[in-house]
Structure 1
Amino acid sequence: MAEQSARTIDALMRAGAEDATALGAPGGAPLSFGGLRAQMRDTVAALNAHGIGRGDRVALVLDNGPAMAAAFVAVAAGATAAPLNPAYKAEEFSFYLADLGARVLVTAAGRESPAVAVAESLGVPVARLSETPEAGAGRFRLDLPGAGAPAARGGPAEADETALVLHTSGTTSRPKIVPLSQANVCASARNVRASLALAPEDRGLNIMPLFHIHGLIAGLLAPLSAGSAVCCTPGFNALKFFAWMDEVRPTWITAVPTMHQAILGRAARNREVIARVPLRFLRSSSSSMPPQVLRELEEVFGAPLIEAYGMTEAAHQMASNPLPPRPRRPGSVGLAAGPAIAVVDEAGTPLPAGETGEIVIRGDNVMAGYEANPKANAEAFTPDGFFRTGDQGVLDPDGYLTITGRLKEIINRGGEKISPREVDEILMDHPAVAQCVTFALPHPKLGEDVAAAVVLRDGQASDEAALRAFVAGRVAPFKVPSRVLLLEEIPKGATGKLQRIGLAQKLGLA
C-alpha cells in the first residue's frame, strides 16, 4: 500500500502490487499497476523532452475510457492536467484553451475534434495519443510535435504544485478556474478511500465522465490509491450497464442520481445479474438523491447506498454517509468526511445544531483560491479561512449534514423563500412520478414563481392539475408550483446532473 499520507500523484500511485490490475475496460486486457507506473514515467519523460514540465498545462480532449484514465494520471504526475469535455463545440474549446493558457493539447490519433483546429488557431501544439490496448487497457504512445528545449522543471510534481485545473460550471456567470494542488487531490482521494474502506480486493466500474471531479477522484484516484482495480467504460450507457456488471463483477459503483435512476429502470429485467454480482455498496454524489429512489435502490441491489457531498473547489468529497454498521440517514449527505464543516449565518458566524445557514468547509482538499480572481476569492472565503460552498444546510446534533438547497437556487416568490428540494421530495412521493426538478419561473409581479418539470414512470398517468393538487395537500399555498410541465426528458448538464438554474430559459418559459 502507498503511504497513508501520500501528497503527490506519483506517491499515491505507488499503491498496488506490481502485477495487480490497475485499469481495465469491458472486453479488454488489464493493465497492471507496474504497467500504469511505466506509462506515467514514459509520459512525463516525453512531455519533459518537449519542454512541458511541472506547472505547465496540458489540455486533455479524450473520450471516456482507460486511455483517458491513464493519460490523466500520467500527465497530472508531472504537469498540470486540464481535462475538457470532448463534446464541446469549437466556440467552447476556444474559450477554455485560451482561458487555461494550455501549453499543449492531447487528443486521440485519428479522431477529428474541433479542438484541434482551435488549438492550431491559438498556436497551441497538438499531441496525438495512440492506444496500444494489446499492452493493457490504457497503455498508449504519445506523439508530440517538434523538438524543443527540455523542460526547465521536469520530473514528478511536488505537493504544492498544481495537479489539475477545472472550471466551475458557470451557470450564472463566467466560469472560474479552480486550480487543485497535488496535495488537494491526494487528500480527497484518501478521504474517499477511507469513507468507503476501499481495499486491493475491490473492483470499481467507472461510468462517470473523466472530465469531471467526481469521476476523476472517486471513480479513479481513490480506488487506485487503495491498490484496487478500476474498469473504465466508454461512458454511462443504461442499456449496457448490466452486461458490463456481469463481465467486470465490480464490488461497487459511484454515479449521479440520474444514472442510478436509469439503472433502476432496467433492474427488473436484470435480476439474475444483480444476484450473480453482489455489490458491497453503491455510492451517489454530485446532486441530491431523492430518498424514495435511495430506498428502492437498496431494496433492489441488497446493498447500502452511500450518499456523499462534493464539489470541484473541494477536489470532490466533503461529507459522506458512513458504511454499515454506522447509521445512514436518507436525505442527509452524512458526516464530515475530510474537511471540517460548519453552518454559518450571513456574517460568517457559526450557527448551533438544528439551525439553517450556509455550509462552509476548511481542509487539505480545499483549493487555495480561484485563479486570478481576487473579487471571487474575497467573497468565497470567510475571514478565518473557511470556503463558502454556496449551499444552504443544517447540521443535526450528531453531525449529520442535510442540504436544504443551493443559495442561488432558492426561489424568492414575492419575498417568500422556497427551497426547490422540498417541493421535489413531495412530487417524488407521487406514485406516477419518476423524476422531477422544481425551478424558478420569472414572474412580472412576484419576481419569481414556482414551476416543476416532471417525467412520469412508464405506464403511469397523471396531469398538471392532479400533481399540483398532490403538492397542495402537503405544503403552504405559496410553495405549490404554478406550472407543472410533463416532459419525456428533463435537460441535463454534461455530467448527467439535472440543472435548476437556467431551466426556465431552456424550456422556453423565460
Structure 2
Amino acid sequence: MTPTLKDLLAAGADASPALSAPGREPISHGELRALIQRTLDTLNGLGIGRNDRVAIVLNNGPEMAACYMACASGVTSAPLNPAYRADEFEFYLSDLNAKALIVEQGSTSPAIEVAVKLGVRLIDLVVPEGAPAGAFTLVARDARVETPAAHPGYAEPDDVSMVLHTSGTTSRPKIVPLSQRNLAASATHIRNTLQFTAADCGLNIMPLFHIHGLIAGVLAPLAAGSQVYCTPGFNALKFFGWMDEAHPTWYTAVPTMHQAIVSRASKNTDIIARHPLRFLRSSSSSMPPQVIKELEAVFQAPLIESYGMTEATHQMASNPLPPAVRKPGTVGKAAGPEVAIMAEDGTLLPRGTGIENTGEIVIRGPNVTAGYENNPKANAEGFRDGWFRTGDQGVMDEDGFVSITGRLKEIINRGGEKVSPREVDEILMDHPGVAQVVCFGMPHAKLGEEVAAVVVLREGQQATERELQTFVGARAADYKVPKKILFMDEIPKGATGKLQRIGLAQKLGLG
C-alpha cells in the first residue's frame, strides 16, 4: 500500500496527459508533478509547511484539482464550497484555524473579506495566459517576509493532508482530519475496484470541495496514470458536448446527475455510440434500481454503485465490475476497509437479510479517520471496539453485499449534499417572527430528500413561507433553504415529548 500522495502520483508516464479541460491543452503527469513541487516550494517559502492549514476556495476545474493535490501533498488542504455565504466562511475559516486562503486572482468571493477580518493570509492563484489545463502560480497578496516553514517538503504518512467538515445532526459541524495514509489508501482502493489504467479518461462533473469528486473523481484515476477531464461543474445541457470532446471511458456522479443525464440521452445516442464507456459509477446517495436499468440500457455499460462517506475518505463498499456479479439496489461488498453489521449491544451480526440481521453498518481500515478533531464526545459515540459507526442501518447478505435499510442519523441527504437540520433550525430561530422550528427531510422524487420545516410563529407576528426562505437564503447556501415550510400552532413531538425529525414528513403527509 502506497502511504503518500507523492508515491501515488508517480504512476503516470511523464508525457501522458493528466488533467484536461474544455477547450484547453492538457497538462502531462510530468508537468503536474513539477507543478506540485513548485507549489510546495512557494508555500514553504511563505512559512506554510506540513500540517499547516490552507483553505481553498476555487471554482470547479483543472486548477482546483491541481491546487488541491499540491496542497494535500505537503500541507493540510481544506477545500471549501465556493457557494458559502460570509457567515459560513467565517465559521469554517475560524474553526479550521486556517493559516492561508487560496482564491483565484480577481475573485469576488465573500471569503476574502472574512479572511481579512480574521487575519488569514490571502494567496492568489494566477493562471498564465495560454497555460495548459491546471497550470498556475501562487502569489501572496502581502509582501511580508516569512521565516521559511518549520516542516517543509512532502507530507509524511501520518501528517494530516485534508480536513473536511461533516454535518452534525445535533451539534455544530465536526472536523474530520484525514491523513496522508488515509488519502493514499482510499485512492488505491478505488483504483483497484475500478481497475483504472493509463488508457482511461474520466469525465469529472463532481464538485471538488467534496470527498467524492476529490478522491474518486481525481486522485484515484491519476494514481493509475490515467487522465481526468475537469469540467466547470455539472451541467446536463453541456454533458454530451463534453463527452464528445473528452472521449471518456467512465464518469462518476450522484443519482440526481445521472437522472438528468439519462433524461437527455435519447437525443445524444450518436455521441454515446462514438465514445463507449467502460462503466458508470454512482455514489453519495442511493440510486433507484429503475434508473440503473435505464442508464445501463442507454450507455450499454455497467453502472457500479458504491457507498462512501467523509470519515472513510470516501469509498467503503462497491459493486464490482463485470464479469463479477453486481446486485442493483445494494451498495456492493466491502471495497477497501472491513465492513460489518453491529447490533445495539456491540456484537457483530451474522450475514443474512432478516430483521434479526439488521443493525448499524460499521467499518475499520487504513482509509478511516483516526477520529474527529477536538471532539471527545463525538469520538466516544462514533467509535466502538475499534469500529467506526456510520450511523446507517443495514444488512449484509450471504454473499457480502450490503443494503442500507434506513438512516440512524437525521442528516438530510439532498442529492448527495448533506444538510444539518440543526443548522437550519438555528438560522430560522434568528428571525424575529419565529418562536419554534424543526427542520427535517421530506421525500423528493429526484433528490431523494429535500429540506422542509415546521415553524411556530410568535404571538401577534406574521411571516410568509417566501419571506423565511429568503431569510435562510441570505445566510446559508441555496441547497440548505427549506423548500417547504409549514406553519403550525405547535411543533409535532414524539411520545416522550422529544422532537422527532425522522418520520415527521410521513406523519405530516409530505411526499
What is the alpha-carbon distance in structure 2 between the residues aligned to residue 168 and residue 133 of structure 1?
37
TM-score, normalised to structure 2, is 0.81
Aligned to 1:155: 153
What is the alpha-carbon distance in structure 1 between the residues aligned to residue 439 and residue 60 of structure 2?
39
Answer yes or no: is the 8 Å Cα contact 1:48–1:154 preserved in 2. yes
Aligned-residue offset at 1:409 = 4.6
Aligned-residue offset at 1:136 = 1.4
What amino acid sits opposite 1:337 in the alignment?
A: A
What amino acid sits opposite 2:396 in the alignment?
A: L
After TM superposition, the structure 1 = structure 2 runs for residues 291-370 of structure 1, keeping only pairs within 5 Å, are 291-354=289-352, 355-370=357-372
What is the alpha-carbon distance in structure 2 between the residues aligned to residue 365 and residue 454 of structure 1?
33
Aligned-residue offset at 1:170 = 3.3
Aligned to 2:107: 111
Answer yes or no: is the 8 Å Cα contact 1:133–1:140 preserved in 2. no
What is the alpha-carbon distance in structure 2 between the residues aligned to residue 6 and residue 102 of structure 1?
28
Aligned to 2:227: 229
SS in structure 1 at match of 2:84: coil
Aligned-residue offset at 1:451 = 5.9
Aligned to 2:86: 90
SS in structure 1 at match of 2:486: coil
Aligned to 1:485: none
Matched residue count: 432
5+ long unaligned stretches in structure 2: 415-420, 422-437, 448-472, 488-511
Aligned to 2:282: 284
- Provide the alpha-carbon RMSD of the alignment: 2.5
Aligned to 2:50: 54
What is the alpha-carbon distance in structure 1 between the residues aligned to residue 174 and residue 309 of structure 2?
13
SS in structure 1 at match of 2:257: helix
What amino acid sits opposite 2:485 in the alignment?
A: G
Q: What do the CA deviations read for 1:165-203 (whole angstroms, capped 9, x no partner)?
A: 000023543100000000001100000000000000000
CA pair 161-120 structure 1, distance change in 2 beyond 3 A: same
Q: Could you tell me the percent identity over the aligned residues? A: 62
Answer yes or no: is the 8 Å Cα contact 1:306–1:320 preserved in 2. yes
What amino acid sits opposite 2:58 in the alignment?
A: L
Aligned-residue offset at 1:410 = 10
Aligned to 2:243: 245
5+ long unaligned stretches in structure 1: 412-419, 422-438, 440-446, 457-492
Aligned to 2:394: 393
After TM superposition, the structure 1 = structure 2 runs for residues 426-505 of structure 1, keeping only pairs within 5 Å, are 452-454=443-445
Aligned to 1:191: 189
What amino acid sits opposite 2:105 in the alignment?
A: A
Answer yes or no: is the 8 Å Cα contact 1:29–1:133 preserved in 2. no
1:143 equivalenced with 2:144 (yes/no)? no
Please, which of 377, 380, 394 is the counterpart of residue 379 of structure 2?
A: 377
Aligned to 1:177: 175
Aligned to 1:507: 484
Aligned to 1:484: none
After TM superposition, the structure 1 = structure 2 runs for residues 3-14 of structure 1, keeping only pairs within 5 Å, are 5-14=1-10
What is the alpha-carbon distance in structure 1 between the residues aligned to residue 11 and residue 207 of structure 2?
24
What is the alpha-carbon distance in structure 2 between the residues aligned to residue 367 and residue 410 of structure 1?
20
Aligned-residue offset at 1:452 = 3.9
Please, which of 180, 205, 208 is the counterpart of residue 207 of structure 1?
A: 205
TM-score, normalised to structure 1, is 0.81
What amino acid sits opposite 1:114 in the alignment?
A: P
SS in structure 1 at match of 2:281: strand
CA pair 86-346 structure 1, distance change in 2 beyond 3 A: same
Aligned-residue offset at 1:374 = 0.3
CA pair 11-410 structure 1, distance change in 2 beyond 3 A: closer
What is the alpha-carbon distance in structure 2 between the residues aligned to residue 324 and residue 225 of structure 1?
22
CA pair 185-449 structure 1, distance change in 2 beyond 3 A: closer
Aligned-residue offset at 1:143 = 0.1
CA pair 75-291 structure 1, distance change in 2 beyond 3 A: same
